[in-house]
Chains A and B, each alone.
Chain A
């Protein structure tokens, strides 16, 4: 069953702790993305990667870090430097990430709550 998996679905952390969100895909896509969604808002791009061992900052990268050591995995770390980390985090992937008609497919999301 091909697709994008994110774990866990719900995550609770204490303020000041770093936390890593998992994203895995078995679609053989080159490009992967991380978005953040706040209540009642659209998605905002945090980081993206078009190829293994390379990634780029999106619109709101401050306080986040990523790695892309394997094609199928793109974990996101929310660091203590992120001022408002409580949000719904979505991972996506696409075939190449370069063509304007390159469709992004989304995972189910992780809802992070920082207490």
Chain B
């Protein structure tokens, strides 16, 4: 299973872009990169995922380096409601099932 490494915490001013990095240097060619976030005492919320191309949806953009060893989640205009723990996960297989292995994530604090 590929291990991911994220900074423990980050700050971002409201209205600015939040760029959250993730290293996954041991990721294999068929492992996807997933991003979830968790607001305190709630279930994780799916944000975005990708394999090797950059992806964008209504919540965020995901930039994956060409060698796939790292990625960056971009929240284009952060708001106070984006304050949460953000998890970067490389999917793996357990038996025939897809598996998510959560680390401790990055605690993003958005401030006025």
Residue positions of A touching B, CB distance < 8 A: 4, 6, 31, 35, 40-45, 48, 50, 56, 58, 88, 90, 92, 94, 97-109, 111
| Pair A109/B87 contact, Cβ less than 8 Å | no
Beyond A106-B45, A107-B43, A109-B42, whether A100 also contacts B31 by CB under 8 A is yes
Bound-state CA distance A44–B49 (Å) is 20
Q: Which residue of A lies closest to B46 (CB)?
A: A103
Residue positions of B touching A, CB distance < 8 A: 30-32, 34, 36, 41-46, 49, 51, 87, 91-105
Q: Do most interface residues of chain B lie in helix, strand or loop, or is the interface mixed?
A: loop
Bound-state CA distance A94–B99 (Å) is 11
Chain A residues with CB under 8 Å of B103's CB are: 42
| Pair B98/A100 contact, Cβ less than 8 Å | yes
Beyond A42-B102, A42-B103, A104-B100, whether A88 also contacts B41 by CB under 8 A is yes
| Pair A108/B31 contact, Cβ less than 8 Å | no
